[in-house]
Structure 1
Amino acid sequence: MKNSAMPPAQPNKRLRVAFLLAGRFTLSAFANFVDVLRLAADEADMSRPILCEWTVLSDTLGPVRSSCGVRVQPDTRLRNAGSYDYLVVVGGLISDEVALSPAELAYLRRQAAAGVPVVGLCTGVFILQELGLLKGYRCCVSWFHHQDFMDRFEAETPVSDQIFVVDRDRLTCSGGHGAAHLAAFLVQRHIGQSAAIKSLNIMMIDEAMSGEKAQPGQALTRRARDELVKRAVLRMQQHIEMPKPIDDIARDLGTSRRTLERRFLSDLNQTPLKAYLELRLERALIRLRSSDASVTEVALACGFCDGPHLSRTLKAERGITPAEYRKAQGGGAEPELAVGVLLPRAE
């Protein structure tokens, strides 16, 4: 008589994901994405790859250094790669160096041509764009890298006011915690909503966000809660050097200037113009304390006419000149040299 006791059937993997890590990749984007898969794959926090499977691909299996210095060891050679539901490219620091090896780039092209959905996390979007894999697709980049993207790909306009974008078989994400929300979107699609919610909750993320949610960005004195205001602020952040007229920002967002002003006053208790000025001044202060650029250079990079214009505005709004601010930060720049004009010294 045959033994009727049979091992329990293992459910088929519902979600298979492979990663390609660029040199100096962003560790947080990778970790957030893969941790959602890990938590969705099993019960509680046991980490067994039952419902999900994930692997890091490489042509050499040499460790890949992240932007923070931590190295990740790939576990599957390209020649041993299986079939995957998604191929995720994790980017990192922007430079002129080749982020992926020629073999990895060729593999990425082949998989995209074969119809495998491709995901770009953080500046992985730059890699996909350089390979021509985003031609005809909408793509998402962080507001922080919006200008970098525009400078490198002049004919393209990325989406920089959402946490991620799904356009057919191309999925792109701004990075950071947005990677967790994109991974949760895929978990919900392939495994179910409860698995996605469980993963995020264990990671202490309150709720899953859809791709249309606005990216968090440079902080204002008050935190915006209105989604229209958040999107407007992101547009402002993307146009610091050449400030965009408020009428144009409202038009881009499909609303009127009057409506935008009303929403700003209700949400932030300030007008769009005042909020825009606050963002530009904060960016100027960051540059003043983190670089040795002249005040004129800082002024032009932050949408002011010249050094004296920045000096007058900063004095009026914050009660301090660029030179005084740098001196307080330990820069010690002379006031008259810093702004390019002779300023009266305080008695």
Structure 2
Amino acid sequence: MRERWPIKAVRKSEEAPRLSVGFILARHFTLNAFANFVDVLRLAADEGDRSRPIRCEWSVLSNTMNPVASSSGVMVEPNERLGDPSKFNYIAVVGGLIDEIPNLNPEYLRYLQRAAAAKVPLIGVCTGAFALHHAGLMDGYRCCISWFHHTDFLEQFDGLRPVSDQIFIVDRDRLTCPGGASTAHLAAFLVERHIGKAPAIKSLRIMMINEAEVEDSPQPSPILDLSTNDPFVRKALLLAQQSLDSPISVDQIAKHLGISKRRLERHFQRALGTSPQSAFIDMRLSLARQLIENTDKSFTMIAVECGFADSSHFSRMFRRRFACTPRDFRRLTLKPPSP
């Protein structure tokens, strides 16, 4: 399946677009992040959802014009070859699978460097921020990445401190966001900057997004404590977070990290003052509390989703941690009906 985006539709107005974005797609880029960005531009560019690039225009750039495969397998065809980057207001590089970022074609890196030299602001979407760093274009800039990739970033870029608790960051002529819904909010920020607030709000509402998030809005909570810089603890927490419904043992996680269970326990004790097992159970109970408070799922279903053997075991552990049963907690957090 190939997607064609409405790039070259004929404009009825002679007025030049007020916002123009060129996109570079890394191999196995995240389709959702790219589509969210483009759809905000598309919906802001014209009246209704007619998709004519009147107030905004966008183009997928390529050095070969070959279709680019997203991480989901959907192919996107480029619209034009690499040329003069200064024809755009922004150049955005959309990343995806982290292993592909070092494989970004050198022509793209040189193009990004030319864009920076021409003072064209650069945008890193998803792991696109990694690509900008590979190109040597983020020194001295703050950088927003997903909490999920925080450890990967620290491993690849010594001495740099990424921000993983905001929805996007605008630092002078570098704009970065962690992907997903944050991409729509960053695009809406640009629409509001160049075109106006009303088109930005319109785009988000058509996309079923209630309101625009500001730059320092927090990323959705990953329900785990990443405040420590200990790489073993951070990796262990992320591994545990990815398998909350079917918990993996401390032994398995230690083996995956290439260290002994005892050594992992020492790292947790120094970094968090607790054992790996206790930290993992707290993570599962925190998720359970969120589900009780924000959904109407049954306690049996919540127990299963949070990796507990049965609802009675879940209830005992929840009461031990929060000093009340799941049923009592739901009753206490129920919002009173509107008058």
Normalising by structure 2, what TM-score? 0.69
Residues 241 and 302, structure 1, Cα contact 8 Å, conserved in 2: no
Residue in 2 that maps onto 1:170: 174
Q: Is 1:70 equivalent to 2:28 in the alignment?
A: no
Equivalent in the alignment of 1:140 = 144
What is the rounded CA distance, in whole Å, between the counterparts of 1:176 and 1:66 in structure 2? 14
1:105 aligns with 2:83: no
Cα offset for 1:219? 4.0
Identify the match of residue 159 of structure 1 among 153, 163, 176: 163
Q: 1:107 to 1:301 in 2, by over 3 A?
A: farther
Q: Measure how far apart 1:132 and its partner are.
A: 1.1
Rounded to whole Å, the distance in 1 between the matches of 2:141 and 2:165 is: 16
Q: Tell whether the 8 Å contact from 2:246 to 2:307 is kept in structure 1 after alignment.
A: yes
Would the alpha carbon gap of residues 53 and 327 (structure 1) be closer, same or farther in structure 2, given more than 3 Å must change?
Answer: closer
- SS of 1:95's equivalent in the other structure is helix
Secondary structure (helix, strand or coil) at the match of 1:134 reads: coil
Give how far 1:294 is off: 2.1
Alignment-derived partner of residue 248 in structure 1: none
Residues 23 and 92 of structure 2 are in contact (CA less than 8 Å); yes or no, is this contact kept in structure 1? yes
- Unpaired stretches in structure 2, ≥5 consecutive residues: 1-10, 270-274, 286-305, 310-339
SS in 1 for 2:99: coil
What's the offset of the Cα at 1:287?
A: 9.8
Q: Distance in 2 between matches of 1:327 and 1:315?
A: 10
Q: Please say if 1:52 is aligned against 2:56.
A: yes
Give 3-state SS (helix, strand or coil) of 2:175's partner: strand
Deviation per residue, 1:277-329 (Å, 9 max, x gap): xx789538549657997254476399646xxx54577789989xxxxx9997x
Look up the equivalent residue of 1:191 and give its one-letter code.
I
TM-score (norm 1): 0.67
The aligned residue for residue 344 of structure 1 is: none
Separation in 2, partners of 1:15, 1:316? 46
Tell me the secondary structure at the aligned position of residue 208 of structure 1.
coil
Give identity over the alignment, percent.
51
Paired with 1:237 and 1:66, the residues of 2 have a C-alpha distance of: 33
Aligned length: 268
Are 1:36 and 2:40 counterparts? yes
Are residues 1:283 and 2:241 paired? yes
State the shift of 1:105 in Å.
Answer: 1.5
Contact 1:150 1:156 in 2 (8 A): yes
| Cα shift readout 1:196-246 (whole Å, capped 9, x = no counterpart) | 0000000000000111000013247xxxxxxxxxxxx6x448768447xxx
1:119 and 2:123 aligned = yes
Task: List aligned pairs for 1:171-320, cutoff 5 A.
Answer: 171-219=175-223, 235-236=226-227, 241-242=232-233, 283=241, 285-286=243-244, 289=247, 294=252, 296-297=254-255, 300=264, 304=268, 309-310=275-276
For 1:54 and 1:239, locate their aligned partners in 2 and report how far apart those are by CA, in whole Å.
42
- Report the RMSD for the aligned CA atoms in angstroms: 3.6
Q: 1:134 to 1:287 in 2, by over 3 A?
A: farther
Question: Which letter maps to 1:294?
Answer: Q
Counterpart in 2 of 1:345? none
User: Deviation of residue 131 (structure 1)?
Assistant: 1.2
Kept in 1: contact 2:67–2:78 (CA 8 A): yes
Kindly tell me: are residues 46 and 314 of structure 1, through their superposed partners in 2, closer, same or farther at Cα, counting changes over 3 Å? Answer: closer
Matches of 2:267 and 2:246, distance apart in 1: 14
Q: Aligned partners of 1:177, 1:59: CA distance in 2, in Å?
A: 28
Could you tell me whether the CA contact under 8 Å between 2:90 and 2:122 is conserved in 1?
A: yes
User: 1:150-207 deviations in whole A, cap 9, x for unaligned?
Assistant: 0111210011110100011110111110000000000000000000000000000000
**Matched position secondary structure for 2:65:** coil
Q: Match of 1:294, SS?
A: helix
Q: Is the 8 A contact 1:241 1:301 kept in 2?
A: no
Secondary structure of 1:19's match? strand
Q: Distance in 2 between matches of 1:172 and 1:315?
A: 33
The amino acid that maps onto 1:13 is P
Aligned equivalents of 1:37 and 1:318: distance in 2?
Answer: 39
Largest Rg, 1 or 2? 1
Q: Given that residues 288 and 295 in structure 1 are in contact (C-alpha distance below 8 angstroms), is that contact kept between their aligned partners in structure 2?
A: no
Residue 195 and residue 286 in structure 1: after superposition, are their counterparts in 2 closer, same or farther (change >3 A)? same
Unaligned runs of 5+ in 1: 1-6, 221-232, 244-278, 320-324, 329-347
